[in-house]
Structure 1
């Protein structure tokens, strides 16, 4: 029961068996960070009960969407959420599911923001950073509180991309490392793209793509994501990807 609060049902059975997937090893994974903008300022003035309600709603939306795409909630950090696709066992479609999840999240969280605004609650914006790379994953022992997690440069990059989303005032920033791993033919979905972006604390620059505001693609069963109305000098065509949640296929 405790495991099911953090992991998707497909992962829980592996963890219950205490199989070798718990051992620390290098693996490829997609890492996602989600964060609420200006949440610290809000927490300083919010009524405790309202504060708890808002945070719980937000976490339910994020965790529920991550689980729907067979991802793992690695940890909650206040208003931040770290999720992993490919932990404890990598799958060929980890990058595809991670991006589909991120796109649906941007829409779901924007709907949540508008709903809060209509009922007089704070309209809190959110941001998502998504990256794909090699991590060390498994149980990290501390002697008192062991942790099932992933560590490595890929985690740091994903967190920096989420921070970059805030700087750009956009809901989603994705690394080119992740986009290159999504198979399929090119379609007419337009994203903003920027090359050789410097990230804080990292020597090597990174290529990114991002979406803006209400142009976030919406998921439609048996269809494809389409980001309409975006025009930029950094346009890029992304591969076709299925939009139905894995649980619906």
Structure 2
């Protein structure tokens, strides 16, 4: 047995005893082979399970990254545009700093500062919620890019991050739709003794665009005089008035009813800037 044998018989041995011992050894060998086979099978299954776990971990990591990327894009873009960018796989690249011609819409409420000084905070937040919800529907419908909220001010950009040839048309069409939508809210606000108006400024020009900020907090920004131009036109606009720059009017003149306002002295601009009021959106004839 010490030499490696599994069993032995002493002489003289009986033939039946020998056969019984051999059969016992064969059963042990068959059992050993079964155990070995099952062990190898379990090892293979364990290896396959480990590979599946690694693949699942990578899939989950990729999906989490995609959700985070989608979340960043949905902060600025309508859902259908964000979906398109994520599907293309270049959403982060599209938000890197670049230069492009854009149309910028700046709008805010007239009389909001005075209203906020006298109204209860809950009333102010209620009005802002109604206002943002109302305008948000139009931003999404016209596929604009929400750049930022500035209190009661809203900045919307067209032609970035996804280019569109008719970006100025979309901007002016959205502005007219916003004015009509706010008219309905203005009537309800007047019944609550909230004296609020709504004005819009629109400008077109080149700007540097991209993500600004730091790792924990980043925003999408449009840097350039075109944003200031839209903001200054908005400041000059009376309630229900849409003021546009010369370049904006040139792009949509046949699509709107407009009247010249004259040259305006705008803060931050060294020379007077021509401005026009969009009285009515006509659109393209079908």
**Which range, TM-score by smaller chain?**
0.7 to 0.9
Q: CA RMSD, aligned part only?
A: 2.4
Cα deviation, 1:137-164, whole Å, max 9, x if unaligned, reads 1112446532212110100100000001
State how many pairs are aligned.
Answer: 213
Tell me, yes or no, if the aligned pair for 2:263 and 2:274 is still in contact at 8 Å.
yes
Structure 2 vs 1, CA of residues 192 and 145 (structure 1 numbering), >3 Å: closer, same or farther?
A: same
Cα deviation, 1:79-128, whole Å, max 9, x if unaligned, reads 1111111121221010000000011111111221012223x241310111
Q: Report deviation, 1:32.
A: 0.7
Q: Indicate the structure (1 or 2) with the bigger Cα radius of gyration.
A: 2
Q: Report deviation, 1:170.
A: 5.1
Tell me, yes or no, if the aligned pair for 1:72 and 1:85 is still in contact at 8 Å.
yes
Structure 1 length as normaliser, TM-score? 0.77
Matches within 5 A, 1:196-215: 196-211=263-278
CA distance in 1, matches of 2:198, 2:160: 24
Q: Report deviation, 1:14.
A: 5.2
Could you say which residue in structure 2 is the equivalent of 1:237?
Answer: none
Tell me, yes or no, if the aligned pair for 1:137 and 1:150 is still in contact at 8 Å.
yes
Could you say which residue in structure 2 is the equivalent of 1:151?
Answer: 223
CA distance in 1, matches of 2:84, 2:241: 33
Select between 97-106 and 202-211 the one with higher mean Cα deviation: 202-211
Could you say which residue in structure 1 is the equivalent of 2:198?
Answer: 126
Following TM superposition, where does structure 1 have runs of at least 4 consecutive aligned residues deviating by more than 4 angstroms? none
Matches within 5 A, 1:1-249: 2=71, 3-13=73-83, 16=86, 17=89, 18-118=91-191, 120-142=192-214, 144-166=216-238, 171-182=241-252, 186=254, 190-211=257-278, 216-217=279-280, 225-226=281-282, 241-242=283-284
Structure 2 vs 1, CA of residues 85 and 207 (structure 1 numbering), >3 Å: closer, same or farther?
A: same
CA distance in 1, matches of 2:151, 2:125: 11
Structure 2 residue matching 1:179: 3-state secondary structure: helix
CA distance in 2, matches of 1:84, 1:14: 18
Q: Report deviation, 1:243.
A: 9.1
Structure 2 residue matching 1:146: 3-state secondary structure: strand
Name stretches of at least 5 consecutive residues in structure 1 with no aligned partner: 218-224, 227-240, 245-249
Bigger helix fraction: 2
CA distance in 2, matches of 1:117, 1:80: 20
CA distance in 1, matches of 2:146, 2:211: 15
CA distance in 2, matches of 1:126, 1:87: 25
Tell me, yes or no, if the aligned pair for 1:27 and 1:90 is still in contact at 8 Å.
no
Structure 2 length as normaliser, TM-score? 0.67
